[in-house]
Structure 1
Amino acid sequence: MFRLFLVLLLASGLNSVARADDLRPGYLEIREVAVEKGAAAHQYNITWKAPIRPGLAARVVPVFPSDCTATEPVRSVDATALLARWNIDCGETLAGRSVRLGGMEDTAADALLRYQSAGGITQAARLTPANPVAEIAQQPDRWQVARTYFITGVEHILMGYDHLLFVLCLVLLLNGAWRVAATVTAFTVAHSLTLVATTLEWVTIPGPPVEAAIALSIVFLAVEIVKRKPGELRLSERLPWVVAFLFGLLHGFGFAGALAEIGLPQGEVPMALLTFNLGVEAGQLVIVGLAMLALWAMRHTYPLHAARFQTLSAYVIGSIAAMWLLQRVWTG
């Protein structure tokens, strides 16, 4: 059982890229351009970012109503995504009408749509293979924003492998449900503070150093797990809440960087921030619960192997984090 867990853990780390904060959804941005009063066409600037790995870049194309004509897209490609920008002119406003991602049914990825009117009113929607169509509301719905950003928060913690491994390290390091809960709460409070501060531009820190420091925080916890001895409490065991809080501040900058990629809807920034945070916390609680259940089962089913399982898990996690650290320092 524990060997299978370790193989899956190693595979997830090796398959992830250096920047594990990348949400990896597609991202379609539609910005309405202010035109002179009485002009016949409604003009929009379109940005389509399609990650290469899930197949969005090769298979998916934004489809607009038939009365819209498009200019030739300007395309560029980086290591992970295709970026295309173009303009469209529509006979009628897109408000109250639908936009579709053609070909999305054949992929296993989601996409986020962000629409901004000429007056600066922004709304967001989530498109999936099962529902690749979004209707642009004439009046943005606050609960639509809440749902979209809550799901985005859940997805981020589940697909943000560095945050995932940090939380798993806390579970492996500490004993007792209440102790784990209190420590994870300190981590949550800290990353919520820096997420809000960075998103509202009260604090600004370059991304590459933050990404490297996040990887280093996982290496630190993995070393603490490996080097602990019975009867000798290490720093992270004596003061787990302080350690989790300090490192949580770093992880909050990582969350903010990911959130900045998809943007925040104007007029609904507090709601988007709150629900994104709640989504992160919900995903985090699922991870902690499953990890604690797995450890409990291991200790009761294979008591002689439980300590070995935790140590080997720490070695795997530490190796993955060290790989990330080297990649981020090298490419940063």
Structure 2
Amino acid sequence: MRIRKLLLIGLCFLISAPVFCHDLRPIFIDATQNSSESLLLRWKVPSTVPRGQIPIVSLSDGCQPQTQPQTTLRGDSYQTENFYLCQNGVSGQILQLNFPGSNPSLTTVIRVQTYEGILLSGLLPPGELAWEIPEEPERWEIAINYTELGLEHIWLGWDHLMFVALLVLIARTGKRTLITVTGFTLAHSLTLALSTLNILALPIPAVEAVIALSIVFLATEIVRSNKNTLTFRYPVLVASSFGLLHGFGFASVLREVGLPSTELPTALLFFNIGVEIGQIIFVLIIFGAILLLRSKALEAYRLSRAHTGIATAYPVGTIAAFWTLERILAFWT
């Protein structure tokens, strides 16, 4: 009976895993003014989007295209660029996404670098296809934009969420979970800041591979169920150690989007706040799911804490092992 319970939970997870692990990276739009009138418009779309569904990004009538868009496949994304002539500047112009077919429900992250050196950024949720380039934004607008960006990133970063879920299962109690997740938060906040400010750098492909490997490590610890290991005795140490690496992963998004030079501390702080808000919500969801699985309402499928951990660790560890191999092989492709 217990084996059937584990298989049921694991099967449900594996069936839904392709949806969870689908590449939900956003579309990135980068517009750079090379002079007071010329502008280079580039956009990057995940390669999981069919080539025939790649959007065309255009500007409103105040800017005229000087070339035809050219799209190439580079690594794991399609990249397109076009040149525009904007005789009256870029402020007030409308950036428009036009999909040949259906919208793949991806978030769009926008960065505009003006000729004066001002960095503007925007975030479009799925379904919104137009954005007006503003004047220099107010501090509160930057705070809202970067909070949304941080929240969006943590919810699309399934490797980070899987790691946090396994930490919760290892910590077991509310108090230990609070201490463990706090250690993880402080660690990744430190390297997020150091990496974003170009004080400390590591190659992102290697970091991403080790992040996936960290999930495999935690999943293995849960399956082994040896409570005398360092992981179970002092989960905050393990969480903090791996959290340093996860911070570099978070920083890669900020480097892609950029930070406004005039409000750098504000943007960095509120991006981190957005990440933490998303992380707290996820931890609460995990606790709710654990309580549900152990409740009398699901008596027929009720699982102990140990069985809940194992039922989660096997599919999560399998997916993370695949990611690890995929990211290591990407070094040579």
Question: Which bin holds the TM-score, normalised by the shorter protein?
Answer: 0.7 to 0.9
2:63 paired residue among 62, 68, 88: 68
2:172 paired residue among 156, 170, 175: 175
1:158 paired residue among 140, 155, 158: 155
Contact 1:174 1:237 in 2 (8 A): yes
Aligned residue type for 2:280: L
CA distance in 2, matches of 1:246, 1:164: 16
CA distance in 2, matches of 1:68, 1:245: 49
Deviation string for 1:165-188 (max 9, x for gaps)?
100001111221121011001000
Residues 177 and 127 of structure 1, relative CA distance in 2, 3 Å threshold: same
Residues 131 and 74 of structure 1, relative CA distance in 2, 3 Å threshold: closer
CA distance in 2, matches of 1:209, 1:99: 35
CA distance in 1, matches of 2:26, 2:242: 26
- Residue 328 of structure 1 corresponds to 327
Contact 2:70 2:80 in 1 (8 A): yes
CA distance in 1, matches of 2:8, 2:156: 20
- Residue 260 of structure 1 corresponds to 255
Contact 2:293 2:302 in 1 (8 A): no
CA distance in 2, matches of 1:262, 1:8: 36
C-alpha displacement at 1:84, in angstroms? 1.0
Q: Does 1:226 align with 2:230?
A: no
Aligned residue type for 1:308: H
CA distance in 2, matches of 1:265, 1:5: 45
Structure 2: give runs of 5+ residues left out of the alignment. Answer: none
Contact 2:219 2:314 in 1 (8 A): yes
Aligned residue type for 2:70: V
1:277 paired residue among 272, 277, 295: 272
CA distance in 1, matches of 2:242, 2:308: 25
Q: TM-score, normalised by structure 1?
A: 0.88
Residues 57 and 80 of structure 1, relative CA distance in 2, 3 Å threshold: farther
CA distance in 2, matches of 1:54, 1:278: 30
CA distance in 2, matches of 1:178, 1:238: 14
2:232 paired residue among 233, 237, 256: 237
Q: CA RMSD in A?
A: 2.5
C-alpha displacement at 1:3, in angstroms? 6.0
Aligned residue type for 2:274: G
Matches within 5 A, 1:32-181: 32-35=33-36, 42-54=37-49, 58-70=53-65, 71-103=67-99, 106-181=103-178
Contact 1:167 1:184 in 2 (8 A): yes
Contact 1:96 1:136 in 2 (8 A): yes
Residues 293 and 323 of structure 1, relative CA distance in 2, 3 Å threshold: same
Partner of 2:39, secondary structure, is strand
CA distance in 2, matches of 1:67, 1:135: 12
- Residue 285 of structure 2 corresponds to 290
CA distance in 2, matches of 1:321, 1:54: 22
CA distance in 2, matches of 1:254, 1:186: 17
Task: After superposing the two structures, state which structure 1 stretch, 116-125 or 258-267, moved more.
Answer: 258-267
CA distance in 2, matches of 1:305, 1:54: 39
Contact 1:50 1:57 in 2 (8 A): no
Q: TM-score, normalised by structure 2?
A: 0.88
CA distance in 1, matches of 2:146, 2:52: 23
C-alpha displacement at 1:125, in angstroms? 0.8
Contact 2:53 2:99 in 1 (8 A): no
CA distance in 2, matches of 1:184, 1:195: 16
Deviation string for 1:259-304 (max 9, x for gaps)?
2222222322211211111111111111110111111122223485
CA distance in 2, matches of 1:183, 1:318: 20
Deviation string for 1:122-163 (max 9, x for gaps)?
111112344322121123222222222211211211111111
Structure 1: give runs of 5+ residues left out of the alignment. Answer: 36-41
Aligned pairs, how many? 321
- Residue 311 of structure 1 corresponds to 310
C-alpha displacement at 1:191, in angstroms? 0.3
Partner of 1:267, secondary structure, is helix
Task: After superposing the two structures, state which structure 1 stretch, 195-204 or 314-323, moved more.
Answer: 314-323
Task: After superposing the two structures, state which structure 1 stretch, 258-267 or 282-291, moved more.
Answer: 258-267
Task: After superposing the two structures, state which structure 1 stretch, 310-319 or 94-103, moved more.
Answer: 94-103
CA distance in 1, matches of 2:171, 2:24: 29
CA distance in 2, matches of 1:23, 1:144: 25
Where do 4+ consecutive residues of structure 1 move more than 4 Å? 1-5, 11-17, 54-57
Partner of 2:33, secondary structure, is strand
